[in-house]
Amino acid sequence: MGEDAVNMTLWTAIVLALLVGATAAYVFLPQQTAAALITFGRALAGLRTRSVDIPGFRIAFVEGGSGEPLVLLHGIGGDKDNWTYISLFLRRHYRLIVPDLPGFGESSKPPGVGYGVEEQVERLRSFLRRIGIERAHFGGNSMGGLIASHYAVRYPAEVASLWLLGTAYVASAKPSEGFERLERGERNPLFAETEAEFDALLRFVMGKPPFVPRPLKRALAKVQMANYALNLQIFDELRARMVPLEETLAGFTTPTLIVWGARDRVFDSSSAEILHRVMPASRFIVMPGIGHVPMLEAPYGVARDYIAFRREIAAGALLSRATEAV
Protein backbone atom coordinates (compact mmCIF):
# COMPACT_ATOMS: atom_id res chain seq x y z
CA MET A 1 0.00 0.00 0.00
CA GLY A 2 1.43 3.43 -1.01
CA GLU A 3 1.94 6.36 1.37
CA ASP A 4 -1.04 8.32 -0.06
CA ALA A 5 -3.30 5.30 0.41
CA VAL A 6 -2.11 4.87 3.99
CA ASN A 7 -2.74 8.56 4.73
CA MET A 8 -6.23 8.36 3.20
CA THR A 9 -7.05 5.26 5.24
CA LEU A 10 -5.83 6.98 8.42
CA TRP A 11 -7.86 10.13 7.64
CA THR A 12 -10.97 8.03 6.99
CA ALA A 13 -10.48 6.22 10.29
CA ILE A 14 -10.15 9.54 12.16
CA VAL A 15 -13.32 10.92 10.57
CA LEU A 16 -15.24 7.75 11.38
CA ALA A 17 -14.01 7.84 14.97
CA LEU A 18 -15.13 11.48 15.33
CA LEU A 19 -18.56 10.66 13.88
CA VAL A 20 -18.98 7.70 16.21
CA GLY A 21 -17.92 9.83 19.18
CA ALA A 22 -20.25 12.67 18.22
CA THR A 23 -23.16 10.26 17.75
CA ALA A 24 -22.53 8.63 21.11
CA ALA A 25 -22.36 12.02 22.83
CA TYR A 26 -25.57 13.09 21.11
CA VAL A 27 -27.44 9.97 22.26
CA PHE A 28 -26.03 9.40 25.74
CA LEU A 29 -24.88 12.85 26.87
CA PRO A 30 -27.24 15.45 25.33
CA GLN A 31 -26.73 18.10 28.02
CA GLN A 32 -22.96 17.75 27.88
CA THR A 33 -23.12 17.87 24.08
CA ALA A 34 -25.17 21.06 24.22
CA ALA A 35 -22.70 22.66 26.66
CA ALA A 36 -19.81 21.66 24.40
CA LEU A 37 -21.54 23.19 21.37
CA ILE A 38 -22.06 26.48 23.24
CA THR A 39 -18.44 26.51 24.42
CA PHE A 40 -17.22 25.73 20.90
CA GLY A 41 -19.34 28.54 19.43
CA ARG A 42 -17.93 31.07 21.87
CA ALA A 43 -14.37 29.91 21.19
CA LEU A 44 -14.94 30.14 17.43
CA ALA A 45 -16.16 33.72 17.89
CA GLY A 46 -13.12 34.54 20.05
CA LEU A 47 -15.19 35.12 23.18
CA ARG A 48 -13.99 34.45 26.73
CA THR A 49 -16.43 33.72 29.57
CA ARG A 50 -16.17 35.80 32.74
CA SER A 51 -18.25 36.92 35.71
CA VAL A 52 -18.11 39.79 38.19
CA ASP A 53 -20.09 40.90 41.24
CA ILE A 54 -22.10 44.08 41.58
CA PRO A 55 -24.32 44.94 44.57
CA GLY A 56 -26.93 42.18 44.84
CA PHE A 57 -25.98 40.34 41.63
CA ARG A 58 -23.36 38.23 39.95
CA ILE A 59 -23.10 39.12 36.26
CA ALA A 60 -21.97 36.53 33.73
CA PHE A 61 -20.64 37.86 30.43
CA VAL A 62 -18.45 37.10 27.45
CA GLU A 63 -15.90 39.42 25.92
CA GLY A 64 -13.49 39.36 23.03
CA GLY A 65 -11.99 41.31 20.18
CA SER A 66 -10.21 44.64 20.36
CA GLY A 67 -10.91 48.28 19.66
CA GLU A 68 -13.56 50.61 21.05
CA PRO A 69 -15.93 48.85 23.47
CA LEU A 70 -19.26 47.66 22.05
CA VAL A 71 -21.79 46.53 24.67
CA LEU A 72 -24.43 44.13 23.31
CA LEU A 73 -27.69 43.47 25.19
CA HIS A 74 -30.07 40.56 24.58
CA GLY A 75 -33.86 40.60 24.58
CA ILE A 76 -36.33 39.16 27.07
CA GLY A 77 -36.00 35.40 27.41
CA GLY A 78 -32.61 35.57 25.67
CA ASP A 79 -29.04 35.60 26.89
CA LYS A 80 -25.51 36.55 25.91
CA ASP A 81 -25.26 33.70 23.39
CA ASN A 82 -27.83 35.45 21.19
CA TRP A 83 -24.81 37.48 19.99
CA THR A 84 -22.34 34.63 19.48
CA TYR A 85 -22.90 34.14 15.73
CA ILE A 86 -22.53 37.81 14.88
CA SER A 87 -19.52 38.22 17.18
CA LEU A 88 -17.53 36.16 14.69
CA PHE A 89 -17.79 39.09 12.24
CA LEU A 90 -17.51 41.95 14.76
CA ARG A 91 -14.57 40.85 16.92
CA ARG A 92 -11.92 42.08 14.46
CA HIS A 93 -13.27 45.61 14.67
CA TYR A 94 -14.42 46.16 18.28
CA ARG A 95 -13.96 45.04 21.84
CA LEU A 96 -17.17 43.09 22.49
CA ILE A 97 -18.76 43.03 25.96
CA VAL A 98 -21.87 40.85 26.09
CA PRO A 99 -23.55 40.34 29.49
CA ASP A 100 -26.39 38.21 30.69
CA LEU A 101 -28.65 40.91 32.10
CA PRO A 102 -29.78 40.34 35.71
CA GLY A 103 -32.61 37.81 35.71
CA PHE A 104 -31.36 36.01 32.59
CA GLY A 105 -28.83 33.45 31.45
CA GLU A 106 -26.12 32.66 33.98
CA SER A 107 -26.49 35.93 35.90
CA SER A 108 -28.22 36.16 39.28
CA LYS A 109 -32.00 35.86 39.43
CA PRO A 110 -32.88 36.81 43.00
CA PRO A 111 -36.59 36.78 43.85
CA GLY A 112 -38.39 39.81 45.16
CA VAL A 113 -36.48 42.43 43.14
CA GLY A 114 -37.63 44.62 40.28
CA TYR A 115 -36.46 44.00 36.72
CA GLY A 116 -37.81 47.18 35.17
CA VAL A 117 -35.88 49.32 32.72
CA GLU A 118 -34.75 51.87 35.31
CA GLU A 119 -33.35 49.19 37.61
CA GLN A 120 -31.61 47.39 34.76
CA VAL A 121 -30.01 50.60 33.52
CA GLU A 122 -28.43 51.21 36.90
CA ARG A 123 -27.27 47.60 37.21
CA LEU A 124 -25.77 47.76 33.74
CA ARG A 125 -23.91 50.92 34.68
CA SER A 126 -22.57 49.27 37.85
CA PHE A 127 -21.41 46.31 35.79
CA LEU A 128 -19.63 48.49 33.25
CA ARG A 129 -17.92 50.51 35.97
CA ARG A 130 -16.90 47.25 37.64
CA ILE A 131 -15.02 46.16 34.50
CA GLY A 132 -13.57 49.62 33.86
CA ILE A 133 -15.83 50.85 31.01
CA GLU A 134 -16.83 54.53 31.23
CA ARG A 135 -17.89 55.12 27.62
CA ALA A 136 -18.93 52.65 24.92
CA HIS A 137 -21.05 52.00 21.86
CA PHE A 138 -24.27 50.15 22.72
CA GLY A 139 -26.38 47.66 20.80
CA GLY A 140 -29.55 45.92 21.89
CA ASN A 141 -32.25 43.62 20.61
CA SER A 142 -35.86 44.01 21.77
CA MET A 143 -35.76 44.58 25.56
CA GLY A 144 -31.99 45.05 25.28
CA GLY A 145 -32.50 47.92 22.84
CA LEU A 146 -35.01 49.48 25.22
CA ILE A 147 -32.51 49.33 28.09
CA ALA A 148 -29.71 50.70 25.88
CA SER A 149 -31.97 53.57 24.77
CA HIS A 150 -32.85 54.58 28.33
CA TYR A 151 -29.19 54.27 29.34
CA ALA A 152 -28.26 56.63 26.49
CA VAL A 153 -30.89 59.20 27.47
CA ARG A 154 -29.93 59.06 31.16
CA TYR A 155 -26.15 59.02 30.57
CA PRO A 156 -25.58 60.56 27.12
CA ALA A 157 -21.90 61.31 27.71
CA GLU A 158 -21.26 57.59 28.23
CA VAL A 159 -22.84 56.40 24.96
CA ALA A 160 -20.92 56.90 21.71
CA SER A 161 -23.63 55.39 19.49
CA LEU A 162 -26.76 53.22 19.56
CA TRP A 163 -27.63 50.13 17.53
CA LEU A 164 -31.29 49.16 17.94
CA LEU A 165 -32.55 45.86 16.54
CA GLY A 166 -36.30 45.20 16.76
CA THR A 167 -36.53 47.34 19.86
CA ALA A 168 -39.46 47.61 22.27
CA TYR A 169 -41.75 49.57 22.15
CA VAL A 170 -43.01 52.09 19.55
CA ALA A 171 -46.60 52.88 20.49
CA SER A 172 -47.58 54.58 17.21
CA ALA A 173 -46.41 51.64 15.05
CA LYS A 174 -48.84 49.24 13.42
CA PRO A 175 -50.06 46.69 16.01
CA SER A 176 -47.98 43.52 15.85
CA GLU A 177 -49.33 39.99 15.68
CA GLY A 178 -47.81 39.25 19.07
CA PHE A 179 -49.60 42.08 20.85
CA GLU A 180 -52.83 41.36 19.04
CA ARG A 181 -52.65 37.82 20.45
CA LEU A 182 -52.14 39.18 23.94
CA GLU A 183 -55.08 41.55 23.55
CA ARG A 184 -57.24 38.52 22.68
CA GLY A 185 -56.09 36.81 25.87
CA GLU A 186 -54.00 34.16 24.12
CA ARG A 187 -50.81 32.59 25.50
CA ASN A 188 -47.71 34.77 25.29
CA PRO A 189 -45.83 33.44 22.22
CA LEU A 190 -42.43 34.67 23.48
CA PHE A 191 -42.10 32.04 26.22
CA ALA A 192 -42.37 28.27 26.44
CA GLU A 193 -43.50 25.73 29.05
CA THR A 194 -42.92 22.70 26.80
CA GLU A 195 -40.56 21.64 24.02
CA ALA A 196 -43.41 21.95 21.52
CA GLU A 197 -44.04 25.53 22.63
CA PHE A 198 -40.31 26.24 22.28
CA ASP A 199 -40.41 25.09 18.65
CA ALA A 200 -43.42 27.38 18.13
CA LEU A 201 -41.52 30.22 19.82
CA LEU A 202 -38.60 29.88 17.38
CA ARG A 203 -40.97 29.91 14.41
CA PHE A 204 -42.74 32.96 15.81
CA VAL A 205 -39.71 35.15 16.48
CA MET A 206 -37.67 34.25 13.39
CA GLY A 207 -38.35 34.68 9.71
CA LYS A 208 -35.28 32.59 8.86
CA PRO A 209 -34.44 30.31 11.80
CA PRO A 210 -30.81 29.11 11.68
CA PHE A 211 -29.97 25.44 12.01
CA VAL A 212 -29.78 24.42 15.68
CA PRO A 213 -28.45 20.92 16.50
CA ARG A 214 -31.10 18.89 18.29
CA PRO A 215 -29.21 18.49 21.61
CA LEU A 216 -28.64 22.23 21.74
CA LYS A 217 -32.29 22.96 20.90
CA ARG A 218 -33.45 20.62 23.67
CA ALA A 219 -31.08 22.27 26.15
CA LEU A 220 -32.33 25.73 25.16
CA ALA A 221 -35.92 24.54 25.53
CA LYS A 222 -35.19 23.30 29.06
CA VAL A 223 -33.75 26.69 29.99
CA GLN A 224 -36.88 28.41 28.65
CA MET A 225 -39.12 26.03 30.55
CA ALA A 226 -37.19 26.52 33.81
CA ASN A 227 -37.42 30.31 33.52
CA TYR A 228 -40.98 30.50 32.22
CA ALA A 229 -42.54 32.07 35.33
CA LEU A 230 -39.73 34.61 35.79
CA ASN A 231 -39.82 35.60 32.11
CA LEU A 232 -43.58 36.22 32.32
CA GLN A 233 -43.07 38.26 35.51
CA ILE A 234 -40.43 40.45 33.86
CA PHE A 235 -42.54 40.85 30.71
CA ASP A 236 -45.56 41.98 32.70
CA GLU A 237 -43.43 44.37 34.75
CA LEU A 238 -41.94 45.93 31.63
CA ARG A 239 -45.32 46.18 29.90
CA ALA A 240 -46.97 47.84 32.89
CA ARG A 241 -44.32 50.58 32.99
CA MET A 242 -43.68 50.99 29.26
CA VAL A 243 -43.09 54.50 27.89
CA PRO A 244 -43.36 54.86 24.09
CA LEU A 245 -39.85 54.75 22.67
CA GLU A 246 -40.60 57.46 20.11
CA GLU A 247 -41.19 59.81 23.06
CA THR A 248 -38.07 58.70 24.94
CA LEU A 249 -35.80 59.21 21.92
CA ALA A 250 -37.44 62.28 20.34
CA GLY A 251 -34.70 64.71 19.34
CA PHE A 252 -31.93 62.34 20.47
CA THR A 253 -28.77 63.26 18.53
CA THR A 254 -26.39 60.40 19.33
CA PRO A 255 -25.68 58.47 16.09
CA THR A 256 -28.09 55.52 15.89
CA LEU A 257 -28.57 52.60 13.52
CA ILE A 258 -32.11 51.17 13.58
CA VAL A 259 -32.49 47.63 12.20
CA TRP A 260 -35.77 45.77 11.81
CA GLY A 261 -36.89 42.54 10.21
CA ALA A 262 -39.72 43.01 7.72
CA ARG A 263 -41.32 39.83 9.16
CA ASP A 264 -41.03 40.86 12.81
CA ARG A 265 -44.19 39.57 14.51
CA VAL A 266 -43.23 40.89 17.96
CA PHE A 267 -42.82 44.60 17.13
CA ASP A 268 -44.00 45.68 13.70
CA SER A 269 -41.38 46.89 11.23
CA SER A 270 -43.22 50.23 10.82
CA SER A 271 -41.46 51.08 14.11
CA ALA A 272 -38.16 51.60 12.28
CA GLU A 273 -39.21 54.58 10.18
CA ILE A 274 -41.10 56.16 13.10
CA LEU A 275 -37.95 56.12 15.24
CA HIS A 276 -35.87 57.40 12.35
CA ARG A 277 -38.19 60.39 11.92
CA VAL A 278 -37.76 61.53 15.53
CA MET A 279 -33.99 60.91 15.72
CA PRO A 280 -31.95 63.40 13.65
CA ALA A 281 -28.72 61.37 13.65
CA SER A 282 -30.23 58.03 12.72
CA ARG A 283 -30.49 55.76 9.73
CA PHE A 284 -32.73 52.71 9.43
CA ILE A 285 -32.71 49.38 7.62
CA VAL A 286 -35.65 47.01 7.17
CA MET A 287 -34.45 43.52 6.21
CA PRO A 288 -36.70 41.46 3.90
CA GLY A 289 -37.62 38.00 5.15
CA ILE A 290 -36.12 38.57 8.61
CA GLY A 291 -37.99 38.36 11.92
CA HIS A 292 -37.41 39.69 15.42
CA VAL A 293 -33.78 38.66 15.97
CA PRO A 294 -31.77 39.82 12.93
CA MET A 295 -28.39 39.13 14.54
CA LEU A 296 -29.31 35.43 14.81
CA GLU A 297 -31.06 35.13 11.45
CA ALA A 298 -28.60 37.01 9.22
CA PRO A 299 -25.44 37.59 11.27
CA TYR A 300 -23.11 38.40 8.37
CA GLY A 301 -25.43 40.92 6.70
CA VAL A 302 -26.33 42.60 9.99
CA ALA A 303 -22.64 42.85 10.97
CA ARG A 304 -21.73 44.27 7.55
CA ASP A 305 -24.37 46.99 7.88
CA TYR A 306 -23.22 47.84 11.39
CA ILE A 307 -19.56 48.14 10.36
CA ALA A 308 -20.62 50.48 7.54
CA PHE A 309 -22.61 52.55 10.06
CA ARG A 310 -19.58 52.86 12.33
CA ARG A 311 -17.54 54.05 9.35
CA GLU A 312 -20.18 56.72 8.75
CA ILE A 313 -19.76 57.85 12.35
CA ALA A 314 -15.99 58.03 11.93
CA ALA A 315 -16.49 60.17 8.82
CA GLY A 316 -18.83 62.50 10.73
CA ALA A 317 -21.73 62.00 8.31
CA LEU A 318 -24.47 61.28 10.86
CA LEU A 319 -23.30 64.00 13.22
CA SER A 320 -23.44 66.57 10.42
CA ARG A 321 -27.01 65.52 9.58
CA ALA A 322 -27.99 65.98 13.23
CA THR A 323 -26.47 69.48 13.28
CA GLU A 324 -28.38 70.42 10.11
CA ALA A 325 -31.64 69.15 11.65
CA VAL A 326 -31.14 71.29 14.77
Q: Within a domain: residue 253? A: yes
Of the pLDDT bands very low, low, confident and very high (cuts 50, 70, 90), residue 319 is low
Confidence check: pLDDT of 326 > 50: no
Geometric angle at alpha carbon 195, from 189 and 198, rounded to 5°:
30
CATH of the domain at 122: 3.40.50.1820
When divided into structural domains, the chain yields a total of 1
Q: Which of 243, 76, 83, 78 is nearest to 163 (CA)?
A: 83
Look at residue 267 and tell me if it is in a domain.
yes
15-24, 84-93, 170-179, 201-210: the lowest-pLDDT one: 15-24
Structural domain contains residue 30: no
Amino acid 208: pLDDT: 86
Q: Is residue 282 part of a domain?
A: yes
pLDDT at position 196 over 90 = yes
Q: What rounded mean pLDDT belongs to the chain?
A: 89
Task: Annotate 43-64 with DSSP letters as a single string.
Answer: HHTT-EEEEEEETTEEEEEEEE
User: How far, CA to CA in Å, does 84 sit from each of 43, 103, 203?
Assistant: 9, 19, 20
Is the pLDDT confidence value at 5 over 80? no
Q: Does residue 31 have a pLDDT over 50?
A: yes
Render pLDDT for 51-71 as a digit per residue (tens, 0 to 9).
Answer: 999 999 999 999 999 999 999
Mean pLDDT comparison of 1-10, 185-194, 315-324, highest-scoring range: 185-194
Q: Classify residue 5: in a domain, yes or no.
A: no
Residue 85 lies in a domain: yes
pLDDT level of residue 4 (50, 70, 90 thresholds): very low
Which residues form the domain of 50? Answer: 45-325
The DSSP annotation for 273-303 comes to HHHHHH-TTEEEEEETT--S-HHHHSHHHHH
The radius of gyration of the chain from alpha carbons, rounded to an integer in Å, stands at 21
Catalytic positions, written as ranges: 74, 142
Report the percent of the chain where pLDDT is more than 70: 88
Residue 21 inside a domain? The answer is no
- pLDDT beyond 50 at 246: yes
pLDDT per residue over 201-230, tens digit each? 999 999 988 888 787 888 889 999 999 999
CA–chain centroid gap for 306, Å, is 14
